[in-house]
Amino acid sequence: MMTSLTFYGGVNEIGGNKILLQDKDTKIFLDFGKGFTGLGNYFEQFLAPRSSNGILDFITMGLVPDIPGIYRDDLMFRAGREIKEPEVDAVLISHAHADHVDYASFLHRDIPLYMGQTTQNMIKAIQERSSGAIDREILEYKLAGAKRGDPKIQRTVNTFRTGEKFNIGSLEIEPIHVDHSIPGAYGFIIHTSEGPVVYTGDLRRHGAKPEMTEEFIVKAKEVKPIALIAEGTRIKDKSTNESEQIVYSQSDKLTANSKNLVFADFNFKDVDRVQTFYNIAKKNSRKLVIKIKDAYFLKHLSSDQNLNLPNWDDDHIAIYKAKYRSGTYSDSDYFGEDRVFATAPNALTAAEIASKPDKYICAIGFFSFNALIDMKPKAGAIYIHSSSEAYNEEQVLSTKRLKNWIDRFQMEHHQIHCSGHAKGEDLMEMVQDIDSKILFPVHTEYPTEYARVTNKINVVELNKKYEI
C-alpha cells in the first residue's frame, strides 16, 4: 500500500484533530487543532505549558506529535531539540475553530497552510483581538524572545473557495463547503494513488445552510471513497427538534414580550447566531450590544457578502465600553484599535445601557457578567443561553457559577440553541449514504456507535498508522 493515515488527535475526544495522510512521498495534515481534553488532563488556568520551554511541554505531555522537523525553529531551540527541515508538505484547515487550527501556530514556517478565504478572515479577526498567546499565532508569529517592534514572520497561506481543486504532491484535493456553527467550514475529497479519501471536518444538516452539507455528501458518495474520516460529536445524542429558525422565533418572542434587559449568550464566531440576534434586535427596535473584542469580527467579516453581517458601526449595533484600569472610562485606558471602538459614537457604558433597558440586547457573554453589577438589571431580565450545555467537569462548574449570577440578579434563564454538529441519526444516514470501504470515526467519545449502521468501521488508536 502506498497510502496511510495516522491519527495524532481527535481520538476518543471532541476535537483536537491532527490527522497525517501520506501518499507516496507526499505528507499532509488534515487540521492541526488544540485538544481540550488532553490539555485539561494536565493543565488549567494557573498551570499552563511554559512558553520559555518552546514546544517541549506540549510534546512531553502528548498534546502534539513528536515528529522531527514540523515545528518552528525558535520553539525547537527553546526545547533543546535538534532543528531539522520539515518533511510535511502542507496542512489542510477545515475551519477556524480552535480544536482544528490553533496548534498550527507551532508549525514550521515552510509548511504551507491551505484554508478557505473566510477561514483566513476569521483567523485574522481572532489574532487581532488576542493578547499574543503562542497558540494564536497562526497566520503570523513573533520569534520566541523577540523584542517589541521586531517584525513578525509571515506564514505561507493558500486560500480557496468551494470546488476549486488544487494539487499537493501526488494528491488532488477538492474542498467542498459544509454547514457548521462557523462560516467557511469545509470537508475535503482527497484523491490519492489508492483512491479517494473523504474528510468531513465538522458539519451539520439542520443549520441555516443545509444545502451545503448535502452537496458535500452527494459528491463524497459519487467518488466511491476508499476511506471516510467522519466526525461523530453527537453520535450518541437523542434526537432533538432544533434549527436556527427555532432559535430566532423563541428568542424573538421573549424579547418582544419584555420591557427589561435581554442578555443573549452565544459564541460570536457563530455568524448565523450573530445574524439571528441582530435581526431580533432590529425587529424589536433594540440595539445588539457587543464586546470590543467582537467588534473585530464584524470589522473583518462584514465585507464578505456571503455572510450578510452588519459592520461594527451599524445603526443597530452598540459596543459595550467596559470599565478598565482607571475606572473612569478615560480614553487612555484603551489601547490600539480598542480605543477606536471604545471612543466610537455607538460605544455605551453600563450606566447608559441600564438607563434604557428595553432598547438593548446584550451579547456580552458570561465572562463579562461582572458588568451586571453596573448594569443593575431589574428582576425578570431575560437571559438566553444560546450555546451547548455543559459536557465536561469544568463546564459543569462554570454552569453552576452562571446559575449563581442568574439567581443573584433574579433573571429568567432560557436554553435556546442550535448545535453546530450533526445529530446522531443524521451522521448515521450520512455514513450509510457515502458507503466508504473503511470508516474512521474521529472527533467523538463514542466511535463504536457507528457499528450500528456499518461493519466497515475501524476504531482508531492514537499515534497508530493505518494503511488504506
pLDDT in tens, 359-389: 999 999 998 999 999 999 999 999 999 987 5
314 phi-psi bin (left φ>0, alpha ψ -120 to 50, beta other): beta
- Cell matching residue 41: 488532563
Which cell is 20 given?
Answer: 497525517
Listed in sequence order, the residues at least 6 apart from 8 whose beta carbon sits closer than 8 Å to its beta carbon are: 18, 19, 20, 64, 65, 462, 463
For residue 51, pLDDT beyond 80: yes
pLDDT of 189: 98
Instruction: Give the other-Cβ count within 10 Å of 199's Cβ.
Output: 27
Nearest to 383 by CA among 401, 359, 407: 407
Rounded to an integer, what distance in angstroms lies between the CA atom of residue 258 and that of residue 239? 31
Average pLDDT score over residue span 53-78: 95
The pLDDT assigned to 395 comes to 59
Percent of the chain, pLDDT > 90? Answer: 84
User: What pLDDT was estimated at residue 54?
Assistant: 93
Distances (CA, A) of 368 to 43, 292, 319, 383, 389: 23, 11, 13, 13, 19
Helix (H) or strand (E) holding 125: helix 117-129
Q: What is the DSSP string of 243-279?
A: -HHHHHHHHHHHHHT-SS-EEEE--TT-HHHHHHHHH
Quick: pLDDT tens for 393-448.
555 567 889 999 999 999 999 999 999 999 999 999 999 999 999 999 999 999 99
pLDDT at 131: 65
What number is the average pLDDT over the span 285-312?
93
| 248 within 8 A of 283, measured Cβ to Cβ | no
Residue-level length of the chain = 468
Within 8 A by CB and 6+ apart from 129, the residues are 293, 294, 296, 297
Mean pLDDT of the chain: 94
Q: What is the mean pLDDT of residues 250-261?
A: 97
- 308 phi and psi, to 5 degrees? 55, 45
Q: What is the 3-state secondary structure (H, E, C) of 380-393?
A: CCEEEECCCCCCCH
Predicted confidence (pLDDT) at residue 392 exceeds the cutoff of 60: no
Q: Which domains does the chain have, with CATH numbers?
A: 3-45+84-237+421-467 (3.60.15.10), 244-415 (3.40.50.10710)
pLDDT band at 2 (very low <50, low <70, confident <90, very high): confident
Q: Most distant CA pair in the chain: distance in Å?
A: 70
Taking residue 180's Cβ as centre, other Cβ atoms within 10 Å add up to: 29
Lowest mean pLDDT among 42-46, 167-171, 180-184, 199-203: 42-46
Contact 243, 418 (CB under 8 A): yes
Residue 325 clears pLDDT 90, i.e. is over it: no
Return the closest-CA partner of residue 177 out of 220, 123, 226, 229: 220
Cβ atoms of 355 and 282 within 8 Å: the answer is no
Using pLDDT thresholds of 50, 70 and 90, give the confidence band for residue 210: very high
Question: What is the grid cell recorded at 424?
Answer: 446522531
Q: How far apart are CA 389 and CA 54, in angstroms?
A: 35
Laid out side by side, the sheet with 465-467 consists of 157-160, 113-116, 90-92, 26-30, 19-23, 3-7, 465-467
- Mean pLDDT confidence for 210-223: 98
**pLDDT value, residue 197:** 98
Give me the amino acid identity at 247: V
pLDDT tens digits for range 110-166: 999 999 999 999 999 888 877 667 788 999 998 987 887 789 999 999 999 998 999
Q: Quick one: pLDDT at residue 307?
A: 87
Residue 24 has pLDDT above 80, yes or no: yes
Lowest mean pLDDT among 14-18, 247-251, 398-402: 398-402
